[in-house]
A and B are shown apart, each in its own frame.
Chain A
Amino acid sequence: MQWITILKKELLEDWRNFKWIWVPLVFIIICIMDPLSTYYLPQILESVGGMPEGAVIEAPKMGPPEAIMLSLQEVSMLGLLVIVAISMAVIAGERKSGVAELVLVKPVSYFTYISAKWAAKLLLVFIAYLIGMLISWYYVNLLFGDLSVAQFTGLFLFYFIWLIFVVSLTIFYNTVVKIPGLVLTLTIVTIMAMSAINQIFSYRMPWFPNSISEHISGMLAEGTIPNELWGASAVTLGLSILLMVASNFILKTKEMAD
């Protein structure tokens, strides 16, 4: 099947670019950095020295949910940047170099082309995020206390919906412009604007995509999945689908290379 062929080509390319090695490694670092350094803060400060005599450093007391949310916060900053950076050229780069023309001159539909690339990037992001969060979960269990399987699975899957949206948004901008750096800028600016809107209107729009992580910490605190989380997830997924359909139409109307 064509779709599988393009997916395989994409996965092979990512493998040859070392993406399948470095992206998971970077996600492991991003995910475990904060919980570890929070836990070891007293020891780290002590070994650095320069503290006044008799100063007692208390490690911030944290429950397992707060500790794993630290990982999620890092994923939402550095992780997001990495995700956008690895997918900023999936279509834009190929349009610039003319590879897209070579593929699309064959009877390959635009949707096959876009969605196969989308799936390939999402698979890479999923695996990297899964490995990073699993290791973070291991450390949280070890250092801060038990976090149940149900809590972890809920947090992991609901936040992945937000990551799906980020990948879809990047793909969308890939079809709008063909300079990878511009794709990165536009995506990050859009996400920042959305988060500003979310902060201003959060009480009126509890279902806004950016509020997913807020609702997740609510879920961890209360032990039940709040309705707002379902709502926000549905809206986020819907927007992702809309973005994919829109990219299909936009790519059709654009000329391929200069």
Chain B
Amino acid sequence: MMLAPLIFIQFLLIVVAIIALLKTEQTNGPKAMWAVIIIFIGFIGPVLFFILGRRQY
């Protein structure tokens, strides 16, 4: 099936986001909440986490 790569890339994005979540010391809001967002909201979830979740500033 040709859609396999798309699903694989989404999965990869979730994995990277989870690794980033575990490595980040402080997140904006509880980590468990971000884990739920990353895993359940399609590819928008990881993007939201990368943009808003990590306290960098």
Would you give the shortest CB distance from A21 to chain B, in whole angstroms? 5
- The interface of chain A, by Cβ under 8 A from chain B, is 17-19, 21-22, 25-26, 28-29, 32-33, 36, 39-40, 82, 85-86, 89, 93, 96-97, 139, 142-143, 180
Q: How many interface residues does chain B have, given as a range?
A: 10 to 19
A36 B54 Cβ-Cβ under 8 A: no
Q: Are B9 and A180 in contact (CB under 8 A)?
A: no
Q: Among B6, B46, B50, B56, which residue has its beta carbon within 8 angstroms of that of A36?
A: B6
A29 and B6 form a contact (CB under 8 A): yes
Near A by CB (< 8 A), chain B positions 11-25 give: 12-13, 16-17, 20
The reply to whether B10 and A29 form a contact with Cβ atoms under 8 Å apart is yes
Q: Complex formed: what's the CA distance from A33 to B47 in Å?
A: 16
Chain B proximity of A96: nearest CB distance (Å): 6
A100 to chain B, nearest CB (A): 12
Give the CA-CA distance A26 to B9 in the complex, in Å.
8
Known: A18-B50, A22-B13. A93 touches B57 (CB 8 A): yes
Q: What is the chain A residue whose CB lies nearest that of B49?
A: A22
> Is there contact, CB below 8 Å, between B43 and A29?
yes
Nearest CB in chain B: distance from A191 CB, A:
18
Q: A36-B2, A36-B3, A82-B47 are in contact. Are A29 and B9 (CB under 8 A)?
A: yes
